Structure 1
Amino acid sequence: MLRLALWSTWHRKGALVAAFVALWAAAALITACGVLLQTGVAGEPRPQRYSGAPVVVTGDQNVHVVQYHKGHARHRSRAIDQRAWLPESALARVAGAPGVRRAVPELSFPANLVSASGHPLGGGPSLGHAWRSASLTPMAIAAGRAPARADEIAVDAGTARRAGVRPGDRVLVQSTRAPARYTVSGVTDRGLRGQAALYFADPEARRLAGHPGLITAIGVSPASALPAVRDALRGVPSTVRAGNARGTLEFPDASGYKVMLISMGATVGGISLGIAVLVVAGTFTLSIQQRLREIALLRAVAATPKQVRRLIGREALVLALIAGTAGALCGLGLVAALRGLFVAAGSLPPTLPLSVGPYPVVVAVATVTAAAWSAAQTSAWRANRIRPVESLGEVAAPRPGTARWARAVGAACLAGFGGVLVVLSLLHDEKGALPVAFGGVVLAAGAVAVFGAPLARGTVALTALAARWSPVGGYLAAEGNRADHRRLAAVIAPLSLAVSITCTVVFVYTTLGGAASAQARAGTIGDHVVTGPLGVPAEAAAQLRRVPGVRTVTEIVHSDVYLGRDRYAAEGVTPAGVGGTLDVGVREGSLASLADGTVAVSRNAAGGMHAGLGHVLRLKLGDGTPVSARVVALYDRGLGFGDVLLPHDQVAAHVDDPRAAQVVVNGGTRDQVAAALGAFPGLKQSGPHAPPAAGPQGGGSLVNMVIMALVVVFTAIAVVNTLAMATAGRRRELALLRLIGTQSRQIRAMLRWETLAVAVVAVAVGSLIALATLAAFSAGITGTVVPHVRVPAYAAVVLAAGALAWAATAVPARALLRSRPETGIGIRE
């Protein structure tokens, strides 16, 4: 039986290639998503600046919560991506621990070399440090000397090379304070990958760090002192790490990247699994439909249904194992290329390596193998149920209708899609709504795959209209479509899926970004908005407050807060006179009451936080510092201004970068504001309705967009596969038309009309699915059922779908028409 399966597969090379491509692409995509998910779970960034310290101590880099389930306490934690600082007294404890030979304190704060126009030089994230901590790398001076005075710095070798500086140069540095000139006293003997390091004299570093009595970290040696250090720090909120785990302390924001990879890998990976099953099932279904005559003949020569199922199952298994393995290996190369793209774009840190293991490969191969085998068995079920003579008749005139079990599956998919729409309209958190939206599209696509035959009847009406303009081609197209609905259904399903998933991916982010921008513009009611490439330092805001005629200056700094393990985007705003610069759409309470110990909450976040006016929320700030805050206002414009509003000074004291993302000024003239900003290169002012600075919820990430783009490409491959198979499977039909006198141009016209009709129906169905999904998503997140759809982008999707359908039909058709019709009419099906 296996030999027969191999022989049958080998003699159907067209179907073999199509199925191989579908299985290969599915395995590659699933493997890539699986590796990214595994990286989020198990990946650790490699230490660089702390590579010379075997043990590293920082503040507690987690928020903790105790949950009770059936009377049992469960301790849960979540990593934070701001730096949790240590009390300076911890240094004496660590230094006095048994076995500790060296304990070096570390200070880290934002500091960049900038040009005269205020733009950063050197590239990558840049941090300032005290020279004392250079030994943690370790770094030594290769040229010049170490910084000794307050106006001197040392620059790492990589940054010096990229910025073109050398010892003795005067450079402009933008740190957490006003920009200042420093002399480069020395250049180190090594650089850091993907980051810059500026070293200051210890007193100057203490001043710029802005956390009196606190330090960023402690580097300890030797590694054998790890247990003693942990014992010495009992009672002090801290995190102690050794080995590769030190990287998470050096790069606290890596925890955010890991959460993103877990969320994205699980969401997109699950969607990819669903689409892969649909695509593979569709490919094998069409392949089996084109083999009904062969299956009927096998039945006629006494082959039992079990033997036929075994034959087809073994064909699917052999092909799936080969294609799945090849695709999974290619997926490893694909994910490596994706990581390089994400690192280059700044969406992933260069120090976070991929965590590659056998599980993604095994899951990918197992998934495509199971999908192929199940699809092959299901597709052969009807041919095995009916008599051989009836099966041969069905080849000539396929029966309309859908099996009862398929109708049940389709009804379940439709019901699920309806439930998704209801859930989307009630969800107010885009992080939870995004996977639901994408999953709903897959459910709708499953319903289209099942009920494709009724949808295919629409092509008959369209081609019948075409017969008025093209009497031969249009007539042939209408009759051909009327004769075989199942072939058209197999084509409509993947093309509508491609349109729906593309429109949903593109416009869900434009809906978010458009709503966020619109809310930020409408809510910024001051006269001037000041921004800068590295933020706006507090000294600039103070200078603006001294401008004659200026009534209010509101600083806005971005951060996150935690309620339990849930994270919410937060903004710190200057409370004094905030009503004259910002209108966040307050519907209950007032921002006039905003002060330390109070908080304002957006409508979208209030449900998840169970927050009402007057309620007290026990929050943790960006660095894990606990605060109790009473809700004094509820507002509507959460996409534009974050989930939570807190006093500016309270937020700025607990973030890595206290500089304001933007400053809104009420009062004063444009010239007066420009004059006040003269000492701060890079800062610029604009009107209140200019594009806002990127906020905490300003659109989707590059990682999500690229991975979803891969899903779209995979779906496009399925479209090409299906159309090419459907066209190639008609070689006998086209040969017969040519033998009875139909000209090649008339056959090409017939195929063009068929393709146009299929494309119109598929685009219409896919657009309706996407529109329903986007409307429900927009209703839940933005409060309006009208999504933000860019007409040029939608037109590009429609044109791409039409071009894809035409190319996938025209290329195999031209190849068939170049052969002799006598050869085509006698060819084996």
Structure 2
Amino acid sequence: MFRTALRNVLAHKARLLMTVLAVMLGVAFVSGTLVFTNTISDAFQNSAAKGFDHVDVAVEAKHQKSKGDRVGRTPELTRATLEQSARVPGAASALGVVRGFTAIADKDGKLIGGGFQSEGGNYWGGKDPRYPLTDGTAPHGKGQVLIDSETARRTGYKVGDTVRISVDGPVLTPTVSGIFTTDDGNVAAGGSLALFDTTTAQKLFGKPGTYDEIDVKAKAGTSQTALKAQLDEALPKGKTETTTGRQLADDQARAISSSMSSMKQGLLVFAGIALFVGTFIIANTFTMLVAQRTRELALLRAVGASRRQVTRSVLIEAFVVGAVAAVTGLVAGIGIGAGLRSLLGSLGATVPDGPLVVTPGTVATALAVGILVTMLAAWLPGRRAAKIPPVAAMSSVHAQATTKSLVLRNTLGALFSAAGIVVILAATKMDGDTGQAPMGLGAVLLIVGVFVLTPLLSRPLIAAADPVLRVFGVSGRLARQNSVRNPRRTAATASALMIGLTLITGMTVMAGSLQQAIDRMASSSIRADYVVSMANGNDLSPDVDRKLRTTEGVTATSPLRNAPSRIDGETEFLTGVNGAVIGRLTDLKVDDGSFSVGGTRVVVDKDTAEHHHWTAGSGFTVSYEDGKKQKLTVAGIYEGNEMIRGIMLDNATLAPHQSDPTDMQVMVKTADGTSAATKDRLVEALGSNPAIKIQDKKDISNTIARSFTLLLNMLYGLLAMAVIVAVLGVINTLAMSVFERSQEIGMLRAIGLDRKGIKRMVRLESLVISLFGGVLGIGLGVFFGWAAGELLGARMATYELVLPWARMGVFLLLAATVGVLAALWPARRAARLNMLQAIKSE
């Protein structure tokens, strides 16, 4: 039986190749994802671990929790704490660490590092062991700075050059006093690091005389654990917390692994989709292979082979196919992993150096996935063939499915579909967080149900194309009959394409609807011409608002300032605004009272008001971060959104209670409205600062749109894998269908249907099957897009379903293209059949 199985595998090399390709693509995607993420994660972890070589124990301030009306605060690490740390018996040295956002502009004035990876810090003394100098000297004063060697290499800056730097708003133009090397992970990932002397860094980052962290180095013979115990004993109880360098490295490694896991999971989802689609093709292929060899299997049964041996023979074939596909897929996956890493470099993302990581787990996963998926897909056809009695198989009595089996299949499909729809509809009524799991379950149930029902759905949907097919005469009518002749095979072939298009359409519908909702939100809630913020999302210096207020053409500005407080024993964040003009800069619907901010009068968004049971005229007591209390009055209740919400009060009321006020953003109204000249004037007023973004409403919408576009483009690229697998499935199905119908095609040729007619028949059959899968996929995708949008858009008053008709038309055209391309080889093969030999074939 083993030799028979191997002979059967090698007897049909073309079918073997296409089946192997279908499995190989899925395996390659899985293994490529694992190789890529493991390689990047390992490189960053090794780089991060080197960054803690000079830290045996790190001392940080411990945040004090909020209690009663007291707002929780974080104590400061002072010079005294640093000296206490250095005096413990096991400490060889202690240095204070200061960190903060520092944007560096390149020679063209553009921001380096993308904002979020633009960091600054302090250089400790005349020689800092963390940052070895490769050129120049240590910085002194506000006029000197050190930059990392990677930034120097990318920008061309050298010692003695003047650079433009921004910390929290104002632009500095220090001289590069030196260049250093670092193992900092942000720099390795394409960011930048600028270092000032400690006193200057403390002033620039708003931390005069204090530190963010104290790094302690142990004496020879003192372990990190022993030094940590000594520091815990010496430092103030409950105000500091200590962590060993080893623990910091482990935490960093876990953080990197966690950040990579989301990317890994996302990529593996699409790999799973490709494999899921491939499973249909494999099952379809083995079903047809077994059907074609039914008499051969019946003969084996007649000469003594048992049912188990017949099933085992089919599974051996599947094992051989799966093993070949898994090995080739693993090799291809390693190439994909290396290619993705190179692609990151070509896109400008810097990755730390390191070897390509191919773990035993990756190898085992690739082999297991390839072999198990293939064997599972082949098990049902093999089992079904083994149950056919030998005499029935030889006389082809088994050919048609029984009415009982069709009724059972349709009943199960209807139950799964109904259950999926009910669960999805129930999930749309739930909260965004609690409804996600039921939504996912409902989607799975509905897809399974529709797949099971696809043979039943194929007849009416394909019949709808009959008027168009009649235009093509005999070839069109024969194509329609061939499409519904074997509904199960047609369903399995169409389902592969259906799944891919369901996901693409669903994501497109949801993204388009959310984008339009955000556009409406920006245009309806903001009257300001411009919104000014930091490139990395950090807070702005109050100087920014002062400069903008005095700029020519600016008629009104309002900073939005965030501050913690305690209200009714709960932590609430207050939003400080310019109460005199905030009504001119926003356009928020007021449900109760009036939009009036000033003195002790505040406005509150609807959700916060309902939580505290406030109405217009209600009074409440707020405890500010400095511990002082004040009675405030709710002047009005407005409808908040994702862009503007919370308790708004006048900055004149809030500022006296803040020790270091900073602004989240500044809204600006100008006399001339939005224009290139006005924007240039604002940019110039802020010193052409590379760290500051000046956006109008269109810019805000475009920024959000770019994130959606990037997500969709990634999705389209990844799901192209599933479409390729679906193409292979259609080719496989048509090729085997042509083989099965050789005698019929020979007869058609004999009675006058020419080769062009035969080609047209096969092409139209392929086109009908592909469009059938496309219509189902687009229909399901629209439903899922609507449902997911209802769930995610429940908090957005401006959300409304948007159907992207043009893109859906493109998707349907894509399905048709798949059908045309997939039919090229089978149609050519059918047309070249020798009619006499075909008529004599059995």
Q: Is the Cα–Cα contact under 8 Å of residues 288 and 379 in structure 1 kept in the other structure? A: yes
Structure 2 residue 111 is the aligned partner of structure 1 residue 120: yes
Pick one of 798, 809, 813 that aligns with 2:812: 798
After the TM superposition, which residues 44-63 of structure 1 pair with which residues of structure 2 at under 5 Å, given as runs?
44=45, 46-47=47-48, 50-55=51-56, 57=58, 59=60
| Structure 2 unaligned blocks of 5 or more | 67-73, 566-571, 616-630
1:410-489 matched pairs, under 5 angstroms: 410-411=413-414, 413-429=416-432, 441-458=443-460, 460-489=462-491
What is the rounded CA distance, in whole Å, between the counterparts of 1:222 and 1:555 in structure 2? 47
Measure how far apart 1:457 and its partner are: 0.9
Matching residue of 1:73: none
Using a 3 Å threshold, how does the CA distance of structure 1 residues 239 and 518 change in structure 2: closer, same or farther? farther
Q: Aligned pair in 2 of structure 1 residues 36, 520: CA closer, same or farther (>3 Å)? A: farther
2:722 partner amino acid: T
Supply the distance in 1 between the matched residues of 2:346 and 2:563 (Cα, whole angstroms): 24
Aligned to 1:159: 151
Q: Which moved more, 1:334-343 or 1:309-318?
A: 334-343
Q: 1:272 to 1:591 in 2, by over 3 A?
A: farther
> Aligned equivalents of 1:15 and 1:64: distance in 2?
67
Counterpart residue number, 2:396: 393
Contact kept? 2:545, 2:557, Cα under 8 Å: yes
Which whole-Å CA distance do the structure 2 matches of 1:345 and 1:423 have between them? 43
Give yes or no for contact 1:268–1:708 (8 Å, CA) kept in 2: no
| CA 366–747 in structure 1, closer or farther in 2 if over 3 Å, else same | same
511, 514, 517: which one aligns with 1:512? 514
Cα pair distance change 1:664/1:486, threshold 3 Å? same
1:380 is matched with 382
Q: Secondary structure at the match of 1:46?
A: helix
Q: Is the 8 A contact 1:50 1:136 kept in 2?
A: no
CA positional deviation for 1:135: 5.3
For residue 823 of structure 2, the aligned residue among 809, 812, 816 is 809
What letter corresponds to residue 722 of structure 1 in structure 2?
Answer: G
| 764, 773, 790: which one aligns with 1:753 | 764
Asked if 2 retains the 8 angstrom alpha-carbon contact of 1:155 and 1:188, the reply is yes
What secondary structure is seen at the aligned counterpart in 1 of 2:47? coil
CA 1:264–1:200 in structure 2 vs 1: closer, same or farther (change >3 Å)?
A: closer
> Residue in 2 aligned with 1:246?
249
Q: Is the 8 A contact 1:588 1:634 kept in 2?
A: yes
Q: Deviation at 1:443?
A: 4.1
Whether the 8 Å contact between 2:518 and 2:701 is mirrored in structure 1 is: no
Give deviations 1:265-323, integer Å, cap 9, x for gaps.
44664575466345314422343234314134422452432222121122223322332
Instruction: Mark the runs of 5 or more structure 1 residues left unpaired by the alignment.
Output: 66-83, 562-567, 616-628
Residue aligning to 2:793:
782
1:553 — aligned with what? 557
Q: Does structure 1 residue 7 correspond to structure 2 residue 13?
A: no
Matched residue type, 2:493: V
Alpha-carbon RMSD across the aligned residues, in angstroms, is: 5.1
Q: Equivalent residue of 2:489, what SS?
A: helix
| Corresponding residue pairs, total | 784
Going from structure 1 to structure 2, the CA distance change for 1:692 and 1:741 (only over 3 Å counts) comes to closer
Query: Cα distance 1:771–1:590, how it changes in 2: closer, same or farther (>3 A)?
Result: farther
The yes-or-no answer on 1:733 pairing with 2:741 is yes
Secondary structure, aligned partner of 1:171:
coil
Aligned partner of residue 103 in structure 2, secondary structure? strand
Residue 679 of structure 1: aligned partner: 685
Match of residue 668, structure 2, among 665, 670, 677: 665
SS in 2 for 1:176: coil
SS of the counterpart of 1:320?
helix
Which residue number in structure 1 is paired with residue 100 of structure 2? 109
SS of the aligned residue for 1:170 comes to coil
1:718 to 1:186, Cα distance in 2 relative to 1, 3 A: closer
CA distance in 2, matches of 1:279, 1:717: 10
Summarize deviations over 1:172-227 as a string: whole Å, max 9, x none.
21221311222223333679532322222332211111134542333332485422
Matches within 5 A, 1:210-229: 210-222=206-218, 224-229=222-227
Which one has a bigger Cα radius of gyration?
2
**Could you tell me the percent identity over the aligned residues?**
20
Match in the other structure for 2:24: 24
Deviations 1:478-498 (A, max 9, x none): 232242222321221111112
- Counterpart contact for 1:511–1:788, Cα < 8 Å: yes
Describe the superposition over 1:452-496 as per-residue Cα deviations: whole angstroms up to 9, x where unpaired.
212221354245323431112112212322422223212211111
Please point out which of 692, 704, 726 is paired with 1:719. 726
The answer to whether residue 172 in structure 2 is matched with residue 180 in structure 1 is yes
- Cα distance, 1:414 vs structure 2: 1.5
User: TM-score scaled by structure 2?
Assistant: 0.78
Query: Hey, what's the Cα distance between the residues in 2 that align with 1:580 and 1:648?
Result: 16
Tell me whether 305-314 or 735-744 shows the greater mean CA deviation.
735-744
Change (3 A) 1:525 1:285: same
Q: Which amino acid aligns with 1:97?
A: V
Asked if structure 2 preserves the Cα contact closer than 8 Å seen for 1:613 and 1:631, the reply is no
Cα deviation, 1:659-710, whole Å, max 9, x if unaligned, reads 74x5212465558886565332156756555534847x985595x6576446
How high is the TM-score relative to the length of structure 1?
A: 0.79
Q: Distance in 2 between matches of 1:447 and 1:148?
A: 71
Residue number in structure 1 paired with 2:545 = 541
Cα distance per residue 1:317-367 (max 9 Å; x no partner): 332233234424543443454455457658897599998644454345434
* Residue identity matched to 1:16: L
Matched, 1:691 2:689: no
Q: What letter matches 1:12 in structure 2?
A: H
**CA–CA distance in 2 between the matches of 1:367 and 1:538?**
58
Deviation digits for residues 28-62 of structure 1 (CA, Å, limit 9, x no counterpart): 33445566888999984732883551436264799
Determine if contact 2:134/2:179 at 8 Å carries over to the other structure: yes
Q: Secondary structure, in 3 states, of the residue corresponding to 2:685?
A: coil
C-alpha distance in structure 2 between counterparts of 1:733 and 1:148, whole Å:
86
- Once residues 790 and 178 of structure 1 are traced to their aligned partners in structure 2, the CA distance between those partners, rounded to angstroms, is 45
Shift of residue 93, structure 1, vs aligned partner? 3.8
For residue 230 of structure 1, what is the aligned residue in structure 2? Answer: 228
Contact 1:414 1:447 in 2 (8 A): yes
Give how far 1:824 is off.
Answer: 5.6
Tell me the amino acid that sits aligned with residue 716 of structure 1: V
Paired residue for 1:195, among 191, 196, 202?
Answer: 191
Q: Deviations over 1:808-828 (max 9, x none)?
A: 122332245345455666779
State how far apart, in whole Å, the 2-side matches of 1:644 and 1:425 are.
Answer: 29
Q: Name the CA shift for 1:260/1:225 in 2 (closer, same or farther; >3 Å).
A: closer
Q: Distance in 1 between matches of 2:316 and 2:564?
A: 54
Q: Using the TM superposition, name which of 525-534 and 807-816 deviates more.
A: 525-534
Go from structure 1 to structure 2 and tell me whether the alpha carbon gap of 1:486 and 1:4 turns closer, same or farther (over 3 Å shift). same
Corresponding position of 2:320: 318
Q: For 2:473 and 2:528, locate their aligned partners in 1 and report how far apart those are by CA, in whole Å.
A: 66
The amino acid that maps onto 1:276 is L
**One-letter code aligned to 2:243:** V
Question: Does structure 2 retain, via aligned residues, the 8 Å contact 1:114–1:173?
Answer: yes
Amino acid at match of 2:819: A
How far did residue 771 of structure 1 move? 0.7
**SS at 1:678 equivalent:** helix
Q: Cα distance, 1:751 vs. partner? A: 2.2
Q: CA deviation at 1:646?
A: 11
Residue 28 of structure 1 contacts residue 328 of structure 1 at CA under 8 Å; is this kept in 2?
A: yes
How far 1:797 sits from its partner (Å)? 2.3
Q: How far apart, CA to CA, are the structure 1 residues paired with 2:24 and 2:649?
A: 51
Q: Secondary structure of the residue that 2:138 maps to in structure 1?
A: coil
What does 1:36-47 align with in structure 2 at a 5 Å threshold?
Answer: 44=45, 46-47=47-48
1:727-764 CA-to-partner distances (Å, cap 9, x unmatched) read 11113525523344421211121123223322332222
Q: What letter matches 1:582 in structure 2?
A: T
